[in-house]
Structure 1
């Protein structure tokens, strides 16, 4: 009689335990996926409800946004800011074309400059004015400020840099008479901007949609947003005006 091949009992037990663990891991992963999806849905619904409570909404675009139809954009947005310059030498490749085409649409237009810590206020002012000339739209000029490299709250020269920013804003106000709004994160606003421009209008970068003072005129709530045109998703930054329609009309004068 042939000898039967008996496997040790612990081998079967080990296999059952391993199958049980795999099943448990699968169940846990499904719970996490479903729970994460539901959580994202809830957050997205809450975000959309918050955005809907702001009557004035708009976008910021630059050369990475691609070709935008401003007539289509005007159907959904109240305003658009166009990136124009940065520092003393950089010009957005699409600024001139974007500005020209935006003039035929029923949308409020503003222009933006990115502040540089490494060049003087005079050079930045000269570059901005020579690039945009009188094409500054109907909104306050946006000056974007953000820390980079060694230029942060720990740098002992930041007080001097603050005076440079103040000089640039003063020059822009004197030439264009339409106001300036400073775009920055809350940290940069509190640490760098407010000490030198305490009465300035502000635009928070990446901020929450609630809990802002009246001095914060605009709130960027989605830096990596998109708009869909002709079946394509085009990258834009999304913001809202922190106030009513009546306050918006006062802001744009």
Structure 2
């Protein structure tokens, strides 16, 4: 008796061939998408570097989340650094004092940041800032970071009173330290909350783009979640530029 031969229907062979081509197609698609992504990233990096070329003065903002930074290395490519110092009437950045001390030997301008609180009075925030920071304010204008949260946003009935509180804090810091104040905030916050009460106050635009802004914008944060690599470690920083010329910078930074 003849052994029965296994029989595979033609549609099964066709299915296997189609499956192989399908897998190959997916693989090629992944390669193409990956290649385009890499190309697009390099193009974006190139564009950003070209845009940065318009701004000769660059810097970073750091906090306790940034980890340990070598300020001497930082000064090789940056002209200024802002250190997070205080927030509201009770909070102080854990690394402020250490960062300020280590920054003093670096050839770059130093500034400090206070984060504005809607739930503390101007006097409470002013006293807290002076207690923590003392005279360790650097030479750059003191930055006040303003951001909406909870009910404190555009349209809330209590915002006009909050704006007056911000104005009081600006006046207190300006009078005591005599080095100016700059407001760090998103463009919407600046337009809605700050400008009505402080129309000529220096501004530092958060989440801005690398383009020249009209006065009173002095600084532009173009990457709030930037990264710096030092000694193989990636450090979280905010990346900013000064919105002006090197000559303008000398005046702004109190560089005689």
Same fold (TM over 0.5): yes
Between 19-28 and 140-149, report the one with greater CA deviation.
19-28
2:52 alignment counterpart: 51
- Aligned counterparts of 2:235 and 2:9: Cα–Cα separation in 1: 63
Matched, 1:140 2:141: yes
3-state SS of the aligned residue for 1:111? strand
Q: Shift of the alpha carbon at 1:155?
A: 2.3
Deviations for 1:151-208, whole angstroms, at most 9, x for unmatched residues?
A: 2224232222111111111111111111111011112112222122111111111211
Provide the aligned length of Structure 1 versus Structure 2. 253
Q: How does 1:206-217 map to 2 (within 5 A)?
A: 206-217=207-218
- Runs of 4+, deviation exceeding 6 Å: none
Q: How does 1:1-253 map to 2 (within 5 A)?
A: 1-253=2-254
- Aligned counterparts of 2:112 and 2:183: Cα–Cα separation in 1: 12
The question of whether the paired residues in 1 share the 8 Å contact of 2:212 and 2:243 is answered with no
Q: Shift of the alpha carbon at 1:141?
A: 0.3
- Aligned counterparts of 1:180 and 1:191: Cα–Cα separation in 2: 19
3-state SS of the aligned residue for 1:110? strand
The question of whether the paired residues in 2 share the 8 Å contact of 1:60 and 1:238 is answered with yes
Deviations for 1:36-93, whole angstroms, at most 9, x for unmatched residues?
A: 1100110011111211321111111111222222222222211111111000000111
Q: Quote the RMSD (CA, aligned, Å).
A: 1.5
Gaps in structure 2 of 5+ consecutive residues:
none
Report the TM-score when normalising by structure 1. Answer: 0.94
The question of whether the paired residues in 2 share the 8 Å contact of 1:162 and 1:193 is answered with yes
Gaps in structure 1 of 5+ consecutive residues:
none
Q: Shift of the alpha carbon at 1:25?
A: 1.6
- Aligned counterparts of 2:155 and 2:225: Cα–Cα separation in 1: 28
Give the 3 Å change call, closer, same or farther, for CA 230–21 of structure 1 in structure 2: closer
- Aligned counterparts of 2:51 and 2:125: Cα–Cα separation in 1: 37
